[in-house]
Amino acid sequence: MKRFCIFLLFSILILLLPTVNAKQGHMKLLAVTDTIDGEKGGIANLYLEIKPGFGRVFLETFPLTRVDTQISTRFAKEIACDFADNGCDKFDFFYTITADSPIVAGPSAGAAISILTFSLINDVELDEDIAITGTINSGGLIGPVGGLKSKIEAAEIAGMKKVLIPFGESINGNISIEVNESINESFDLARLRKSYRVEIIEAPTLDDALFEFTKKRFREKKANLTISQDYKDTMKILAIQLCSRSTKLRNKISNLTRDNKTERILDNAINLSIKGKDYFSENKYYSSASYCFGANVDFSHLSLLGMRLTGEDAIEKIKELRKEIRDFDKIIENEKIKTITDLESYMIVKERLIEGNEFLDIVMESVDNNDTNLRNLAYAIERINSAKSWAKFFENTGKEFDFNDKVVESACKTKLSEVEERLQYVQLYTLQSLENTKKELSYAYQDLRNRNFELCLFKASKAKANVDTVLGVLGVKEDNVVKVLEQKLDIVERNLVEQIEKEIFPIVGYSYFEYANSLKDSEPFSALLYSEYSLELSNLDIYFESPEINKLFRKIDRKLIIALIAGIVLGFVISKFTGNTSRKKSRRK
């Protein structure tokens, strides 16, 4: 019994040895600070201590920052852990930000926080003569910030040798930043580089920034993007359904009496259906389905015009459609959500059913006013058909996660907090009202109150993408938007490759990526928005955990396994040694 106790004691001690020591790190933080003369660039200090724990994040700031930094700190930590391919649930993270006067931190400290976090997780030394400013976004994308010129000046005064800035704030040597209420400051980056001794480098991604800090690459793109045959086959069927419906609806209106109004609608419908067929021939099935859906709305509108519905007919049609939505919604509610593909399929199906109901409400109001809006009725009909098509993506294989209500609610609230913080920050630097973002955000809160947590997460993700799109184009000339877009699409593609390697297929994230590529030549600003949607919806896994048994095995990393084996061997040797000694003493006696 004594030997067993010694054996067990040494095994436990060796097992715990790698984790008992805390890790500490520090880096300079570029910030905008308050002074008597107004806002100026300044240097703050960012400290991090990692201790054994449970993945919790603690933040202390002195003095208090002008923008809440807690949420962006949590998100930056998650991005760093995901980038390091380490769940970080074995550690607690203690961040401290200190400055001589109140600073505007918030999302603009995100890139620095991610870099410092990654360096401690991976035991990588950073060059402390380098500073960075930028938000950190899904996929490790570094986004634009305000007060850039002031921060560069502060780095110069502090004797820094290099400053990393986000890609997109200086395209073709031009930077333009809106500061506070009405100051629009633009300047030439090439001239700035000549004016200051500090080197100014653009860093589009977390990996690019880490290379500047360490001269090492940690996560380069490993392969080209390849999509599973299951997705291709299912999305192909979805596109065939929607595009075939276009042909059927067009045949139904062959005898429609035409005037200027119907001719315009018909021309638009035909153009959209042609685009749908073109993208289908290029194997871009989501883009094909999207254009055919638009064509179907127009064809359906023309079909309803030809029916010459009375108010009573419209009311009867609305009743039928509402029953169709209720019946299908019951089926969807019984679907089991196991994978990210299931989750995103559920999100998009539910969104379409709810939109269908909302448009029926609008039609009902117009019927009451003796002015039936048939286009809205057509949109509701096609939205319901689209929802049924998307439901085919349920029960796809892939890595499984825990999607119980409590977990999804927490993810929804976290994403809402991220949006609120971004909004607060953006409005310090731009006059834009961001009404569309606020509207999307209000819908997300409504879903939260109604306990539609999956929809809340979906809409909050889109709201955050809206804010990041605004940040991403601040100061970028219209002629150069395509360059920013191409950079962003490269990052999205690499992110999708990494997700697929982890057996995760973010179906909506990929679909939006494909759609953004189809829009980039004709509608670059819309393509930017959809690329942001793709980024947000391609990293939802950071908000969820795998089932407990997988979580347990993930926690036991290689070092701990080696330590356990070493502990067992050492414990066995010591117990054997003490056993032999005892037997010798016994013989002497």
- What dihedral do alpha carbons 374, 375, 379, 380 form, nearest 10°? -20
Per-residue pLDDT tens listing for the chain (589 residues) = 555 555 555 555 544 444 446 789 999 999 887 666 667 888 999 999 999 988 889 999 887 666 668 888 888 998 999 888 776 888 899 999 998 777 777 788 899 999 999 999 999 999 999 999 998 988 888 888 878 888 999 999 999 999 999 886 654 333 333 333 333 344 566 777 778 889 999 898 999 999 999 999 887 656 678 888 888 888 999 999 999 999 999 998 877 777 888 899 999 999 999 999 999 999 999 999 999 999 999 999 999 988 888 888 999 999 999 999 999 999 999 988 999 999 999 999 999 999 999 999 999 988 866 566 899 999 999 999 999 999 988 877 789 999 999 999 999 999 999 999 888 877 776 666 788 889 999 999 999 999 999 999 999 999 999 988 887 776 666 777 888 888 889 889 988 998 998 899 999 999 999 999 999 989 998 999 999 999 999 999 989 876 643 444 444 444 455 555 655 665 555 556 555 555 555 555 4
**Structure tokens, 533:** 């949607």
DSSP state of 501: H
> Residue-wise over 443-456: b if at least 16 C-beta within 10 A, else e?
bbeebbeeebbbbb
What does each C-alpha distance from 372 to 318, 323, 356, 362 come to in angstroms?
Answer: 11, 20, 16, 9
> What is the spatial distance between Cα 375 and Cα 379, in angstroms, rounded to a whole number?
6
How many Cα atoms sit within 13 Å of 569 on the Cβ side? 6
* Strand, helix or coil for residue 131: strand
What does each C-alpha distance from 76 to 116, 198, 522 come to in angstroms?
Answer: 10, 26, 34
> What is the spatial distance between Cα 271 and Cα 548, in angstroms, rounded to a whole number?
51
> What is the spatial distance between Cα 79 and Cα 538, in angstroms, rounded to a whole number?
12
How many Cα atoms sit within 13 Å of 549 on the Cβ side? 1
Give residue 141's pLDDT.
86
Give residue 557's pLDDT.
47
Q: What's the pTM value of the predicted model, to 2 decimals?
A: 0.78
> What is the spatial distance between Cα 156 and Cα 197, in angstroms, rounded to a whole number?
7
- Sheet-wide strand order for 130-132: 130-132, 162-165, 199-202
* Strand, helix or coil for residue 43: strand
Q: Of 33, 193, 214, 11, give the one whose Cα is nearest residue 118.
A: 214
Give residue 286's pLDDT.
94
> What is the spatial distance between Cα 573 and Cα 531, in angstroms, rounded to a whole number?
59
Q: What is the DSSP string of 249-298?
A: HHHHTTT----HHHHHHHHHHHHHHHHHHHHHHTT-HHHHHHHHHHHHHH
**pLDDT tens track for 307-343:** 888 888 999 999 999 999 999 999 999 988 999 999 9
Q: Angle at CA 500, nearest 5°, toward 494 and 505?
A: 110
Give residue 476's pLDDT.
65
> What is the spatial distance between Cα 438 and Cα 435, in angstroms, rounded to a whole number?
5
